A and B are shown apart, each in its own frame.
Chain A
Amino acid sequence: MTDQQARELLKSSPQKAHRLIFDEYYNYVYTIVFNRLRSYASREDIDACVSDVFSDVFLHYSTDNGYSGDIKGFIAAIARNRSVDMFRKLRVRSVNTVPVDGEEALQLPSADKVDELAEKAETCHALLDAVKSLGEPDSYIIMQKYYYGRKSADIADKVGLKPEAVRKRLSRAMDKLKKILTDIGEGR
């Protein structure tokens, strides 16, 4: 759906537009929010944040309200802002103060940090390449389990295996992944 189509549909049939926008960008928004809040928020908090993003989008993205830019960029900006907002709220709940140079402090890009960030991104891509090279369903199982934190039983339902089989595959896949990453590290 193009931006123009989204705006026209929002005018003529808002409910339908909401559904289409939601379906198109849910994974994207969820990924952004989850990526920020993975270690700090419960599943419920993450869901609440994602739903906040979309209700903001539905409320504010229309020609009448003035924002007429790229919808994806607009959604991404709201998602980042909302997740940072929730991150701060959650941190306030659990700690009284956060040292500026502590790990919990929100990392903002700066000239000093650009190299670090670039290196981290490169490592992330290498990790994702390695996971992808495991093939299906192992790559799916590993990411759902260790990145998204799903339970083996839930993953088993998705891939049509028994939970025990999923656990076995996880163990073998992790062994393989570690070997791949070790080889990469040694420059093979």
Chain B
Amino acid sequence: MEEKKEFDILENTEQSVIDRLSEEFPPDDAEEKEKVFRMSQEKLNKANNTSKFTETDEQTVSGVEVVCKRPLWKKCLSMAAAAAILIGGAAGGFKAYKHFSNTPTISDKENITEEPTTEQTTTEQPTTEPLNNSCPFDFAAHEFSRPDPDSKTAIFVNFGKSEEEGGDGRTGFSLRGGNVIPLEKRQELADFFNSLEWEEADDEPKVLPEFLYTYERFCFYSLSDDDFIILNFDGDQSTVVLTSCKVRLESDYTDENYDPSDKNAMNRMIQYGAVDETIDINDVTKCYKIDYDLIKSKMNEIFGEDFIRSYNEEKSILNREWEIELPFEYYPITLNKEDNDFIYNILRKCKWEKLDDTSSFIEENMQNSISIIDLSCYEDNIRYSFIIMSSSDITFIGYGEWQPNDDGIEEPVYTSSWINKDNINAVQQITDYINSKHSELTKEVPVDLSFIDRVDWLYSALDTKQFDITDDKMQKLKECLGRYDWKMTDDSNYFGYDIGIIGTTDNNNDSITELRIGKAWDGKTMICFAGCEVTDIDGKLAVTNIREPKSESDCLNRFYVCDDENAYSEIEKILSE
């Protein structure tokens, strides 16, 4: 980038320039600063600490990375099981783990206490092998907990040796701390589990593209004395994966500089390791078929309806507000949850094979595609894309995440492609469905200036030109806008609006509209009644986001331009009175 080179001269310069850079143009990244402070404290602690500690391999203690020479199905199960644990709210666990990677081990076993639990007596029994199809675990006998996604305690259970220690790299589970389930409920669950038939799963699990998973799952774990047991219930696979082994405590570290305002920070990190370092996670794992809906229903009954906090992984298509561009249609339409569910259910029934070389495959097989569905959405500067294509005998789906680099050019962050040969009608089914449901949204909707009468206009938006706003002025504005011819447009990418007027409907701060006026990239005057999300800044509502989707019948969130070059100046004159 040429512009960056202009500033290369500032590099490796003398002290007076550095002093000036430090004073007048300092770095401005509070998050980075806090991270550096934590790093410096760790290094200081390490330098001051006289205890022997174990250096762990940051890159391999992930809970999801499995170096496995076992059959494919066990690898899948291991990955699913470990990934499932993330549902327990360990999204911050990895970051915390890297932070704490050089923590000292403890020489004496300390009493590990979590959040206060009810007093109870338990009879601890070792996990036994199931007889016939009986339940392979005793839920009442062990102090099972549910991971709490809001917990600031991270627990890691590791298997194997790191590469530096001569192993293949550590794998394991990453958890959030949780509360032990009261004995009464554990007994109720034990009775329930004992009433079911337990059959080990077949060798071949259902393989789905990762973005078609619902990630409907939950887990229980028990860490008492030196026993570790974890149960991962997976709705997509209809399985429960049971892992059980002897472990020892490796370290227990509390961060003195814990910052509660950092949502990813962990207060405490506890590490366990399998006593037998030679065992592989698969050696101590078994998988059983389950009726997931039945079990989930029981969980809701015992723990309440919000038992399973929805945790759709970020790559699930169910999570996105997709816009779809259909052939021969001018304007994209936004799909709702019902539409996503429909697409999801169609695609999930297919048998998919993963593609390694997408470009060659498309070139050789999909050049004469009969139909294409192209979905996209934008969130936090990332463009998500989801394409479904079908030819005479193959259906192709491709998921991608794209992010602009510093030059503004999109680069792929993540892509994944799959094909199936057993439902070539998928695209047509989806297209027919969407056409029938959303045809109204593609039509031209004229601007409706009576919108101005329905909104209680308050003031100019904080980051735009400032005007005094009165009802009288807004009526004059409405008359002014009515004198021009407004055409709907979908080209809003370069809408540089510098007039924003905020108002509420029905005196409701949750229903905010911003009338945006400015110029399009070609200088034409553009307006939009934008349904917004707002935040409070010093007592004033400041717009943070435009709400989607467009409504079916009115002009909300649509863009209009007019060709008359006098429009903008007349608008500005009225508002300046």
A, B co-complexed: yes
Interface residues of A in 76-120 (CB under 8 A from B): 76, 107, 117, 120
Q: Which residues does chain A contribute within 8 Å of B28, judged by CB atoms?
A: 140, 144, 158
Q: Are B22 and A27 in contact (CB under 8 A)?
A: yes
Shortest distance in angstroms between B358's beta carbon and chain A's nearest beta carbon? 27
Q: Which residue of A lies closest to B406 (CB)?
A: A151
Checking A43, A131, A149 against B4 with a beta-carbon cut-off of 8 angstroms, the contacting residue is: A149
B40: which A residues are within 8 A, CB to CB? Answer: 18, 22, 50-55, 58
From 136 to 188 in chain A, residues with beta carbon under 8 angstroms from any chain B beta carbon are 139-140, 143-154, 158, 160-161, 163-165, 167-168, 170, 174
How far apart sit A48 and B40, CA to CA, in the bound complex (Å)? 8
Contacts of A160 in B (CB 8 A): 463
B3: CB under 8 A from chain A? yes
A32 to B26, CA, bound (A): 11
A81 to B496 alpha-carbon distance, docked (Å): 48
CA distance A20 to B243 in the complex (A): 47
Residue picked from B7, B41, B380, most chain A C-beta under 10 Å? B7
For the complex, give the distance between the alpha carbons of A103 and B121 in Å.
Answer: 73
Give min CB distance, B259 to chain A, whole Å.
11
Q: Are A31 and B21 in contact (CB under 8 A)?
A: yes
* Given known A31-B18, A120-B9, contact A54–B36 (CB-CB < 8 A): yes
Q: Does B328 contact A (CB under 8 A)?
A: no
B27, A27: Cβ atoms closer than 8 Å: yes
Which residues on A sit within 8 Å (CB–CB) of B36?
26, 30, 47, 50-51, 54
Query: Is the CB of A123 closer than 8 A to any CB of chain B?
Result: yes
Q: Write the residues of chain B forming the contact surface with A, with a CB cutoff of 8 angstroms.
A: 1, 3-4, 6-18, 20-22, 24-29, 32-33, 35-37, 39-41, 43-44, 47-48, 256, 380-381, 406, 408, 463, 493-494, 496
A-B contact list, 6 entries, CB within 8 Å: A35-B11, A58-B40, A120-B14, A127-B10, A147-B25, A153-B381
One of A30, A55, A150 near B43 (C-beta < 8 A): A55
Give the residues in chain B near A125, CB-CB below 8 Å: 16-17, 20
Contact between A15 and B381, CB atoms less than 8 A apart: no
CB distance from B542 to the nearest CB of A (A): 8
Give the distance in Å from the alpha carbon of A51 to the alpha carbon of B47 in the complex.
13
Q: Which residues of A contact B (CB under 8 A)?
A: 15, 18-19, 22, 26-28, 30-32, 34-36, 38-39, 43, 47-48, 50-55, 58-59, 76, 107, 117, 120-121, 123-125, 127-128, 131-132, 139-140, 143-154, 158, 160-161, 163-165, 167-168, 170, 174
Decide: A123 and B406 in contact? CB cutoff 8 A. Answer: no
Instruction: Point out the residues of chain A lying under 8 angstroms from B18, CB to CB.
Output: 31-32, 35
Check if A30 sits within 8 Å of B26, measured CB to CB. Answer: yes
Taken together as a complex, chains A and B put the C-alpha atoms of A121 and B11 apart, in Å, by 10
Q: Measured between alpha carbons, how far is A167 from B37 in the docked complex, in Å?
A: 31
| Residues of A close to B48: CB separation below 8 A | 59
Are B496 and A59 neighbours in the complex by a CB distance under 8 Å?
A: no
Distance in Å: Cβ of B161 to nearest Cβ of chain A: 26
The CA-CA distance from A106 to B378 in the complex, in Å, is: 45
Given known contacts A51-B36, A146-B7, what 15 new A-B pairs fall within 8 Å (CB)?
Answer: A18-B44, A35-B18, A35-B21, A43-B32, A51-B43, A55-B41, A59-B48, A107-B12, A128-B17, A128-B20, A128-B25, A152-B406, A153-B380, A163-B381, A174-B3
Is A15 within 8 A of B27, CB to CB? no
Residue among B28, B33, B40, B463 with max Cβ neighbours from chain A (10 Å): B40
A17 nearest CB across to chain B (Å)? 12
In the complex, are the beta carbons of B496 and A165 less than 8 A apart? yes
A15 to B406 alpha-carbon distance, docked (Å): 39
Closest Cβ–Cβ distance, residue B36 to chain A (whole Å) = 5
Q: Are A124 and B9 in contact (CB under 8 A)?
A: yes
Residues in A with CB closer than 8 Å to B16 are 121, 125
A127 CA / B26 CA spacing, docked (Å): 16
Contact A124 B13 (CB under 8 A): yes
A31-B18, A35-B18, A124-B17 are contacts. A143–B25 as well, Cβ < 8 Å?
yes
- Partner of A146 from the list B4, B15, B44 (CB cut-off 8 Å) is B4
**Chain A residues within an 8 Å CB radius of B11:** 35-36, 38-39
- Kindly provide the distance from the CB of A51 to the nearest chain B CB, expressed in whole angstroms: 4
- Assembled-state Cα–Cα distance A42/B504 (Å): 47
In the assembled complex, the Cα of A174 lies from the Cα of B1 at a distance in Å of 13
Given contacts A31-B27, A128-B20, A164-B494, contact A54 B37 (CB under 8 A): yes
Contact A52 B33 (CB under 8 A): no
CA gap between A52 and B40 in the complex, in Å: 6
Which A-chain residue is minimally distant from B48 (CB atoms)?
A: A59
A-side contacts of B494, CB under 8 Å:
164
Residues of A within 8 A of B408 (CB): 167
Name the contact of A168 in the complex, choosing from B17, B25, B406, B496 (C-beta under 8 A): B496
Tell me the bound Cα distance from A161 to B175 in angstroms.
38
Report the separation of the CA atoms of residues A83 and B18 in the bound assembly, to the nearest whole angstrom.
Answer: 14
**B13 near A121 (CB under 8 angstroms)?**
yes
Write the nearest CB–CB distance from B206 to chain A, whole angstroms: 38
Whether B43 lies near A52 (C-beta < 8 A) is yes
What residues of B have a CB within 8 angstroms of the CB of A124 in the complex? 9-10, 13, 17
- Distance in angstroms from B493 CB to nearest chain A CB is 8
Contact between B3 and A146 (Cβ–Cβ < 8 Å)? yes
Tell me the complex Cα distance, A107–B16, Å.
Answer: 17
Q: Which residues of B contact A149 (CB under 8 A)?
A: 4, 406
Of chain A, the residue at the smallest CB distance from B11 is A38
Bound form: Cα–Cα A132–B21 in Å: 11
Which chain B residues lie closer than 8 Å to A76 at the CB level? 15
A18 pairs with B41, CB closer than 8 A: yes
CB distance from B295 to the nearest CB of A (A): 42
Residues of chain B within 8 A of A15, CB atoms compared: 256
Q: Are A59 and B47 in contact (CB under 8 A)?
A: yes
Question: What residues of chain A lie closer than 8 Å to B17, measured between beta carbons?
Answer: 121, 124-125, 128
Which residues of the other chain, B, contact A35 by a CB distance below 8 angstroms? Answer: 10-13, 18, 21
A128 vs B22: C-alpha distance in the bound complex, in angstroms? 12
Distance to closest chain B CB from A58 (angstroms): 5
> Known contacts A27-B22, A128-B25; is A51 also within 8 Å of B10 by CB?
no
Given the complex of chains A and B, what is the CA–CA distance between A164 and B498 in angstroms? Answer: 13
Q: Whole-angstrom distance from the CB of B498 to the nearest CB of chain A?
A: 10
Question: Min CB distance, B532 to chain A, in Å?
Answer: 13
Of all chain A residues, the one with the shortest Cβ separation from B495 is A164
CB distance from B55 to the nearest CB of A (A): 16
Q: Which of B9, B39, B496 has a CB less than 8 Å from the CB of A123?
A: B9
CB-based contact A148/B20 at 8 Å? no
Chain B's nearest CB lies how many Å from the CB of A41? 12
The smallest beta-carbon distance between A135 and chain B, in angstroms, is 13
Min C-beta distance of B35 to chain A, whole Å: 6
Instruction: For A139, list chain B residues within 8 Å (CB).
Output: 25
